[in-house]
């Protein structure tokens, strides 16, 4: 299962720390745009998640998934469905 800590690690590895806000706070429902991440950063983040967790993610889903909470739900639902 993907945890928030693991997601933050992927975000930092793929897109670096946010220039706008700390990733150490309560970011679950903060939109990626408000965290300072653009569409290119999101594509990198989701490509890494797709590889790391062996789950398919369409480009459409990348852009519909706006917050870390939505990302956790998407990835964890895919992991559960694959079992």
Q: What is the pTM of this model?
A: 0.91
Query: pLDDT at residue 19 above 90?
Result: no
* Joined tokens for residue 68: 């870390």
Q: Set out the domains of the chain in order of their start, with CATH numbers.
A: 4-82 (1.10.1200.10)
Rounded mean pLDDT, 22-46: 93
Taking CA atoms, 53 is separated from 18, 37, 44, 77, in Å, by 24, 21, 14, 12
pLDDT tens by residue, 37-75: 999 999 999 999 999 999 999 999 999 999 999 999 999
Report the SS3 class of residue 25: coil
Residues 51, 10 contacting (CB under 8 angstroms): no
């Amino acid at each position: 299962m993907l945890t928030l800590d693991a997601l933050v690690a992927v975000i930092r590895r793929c897109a670096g720390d946010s220039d706008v806000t700390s990733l150490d706070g309560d970011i679950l429902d903060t939109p990626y745009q408000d965290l300072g991440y653009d569409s290119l950063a999101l594509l990198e983040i989701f490509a890494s998640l797709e590889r790391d967790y062996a789950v398919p993610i369409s480009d459409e889903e990348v852009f519909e998934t706006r917050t870390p909470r939505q990302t956790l739900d998407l990835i964890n639902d895919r992991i559960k469905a694959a079992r």
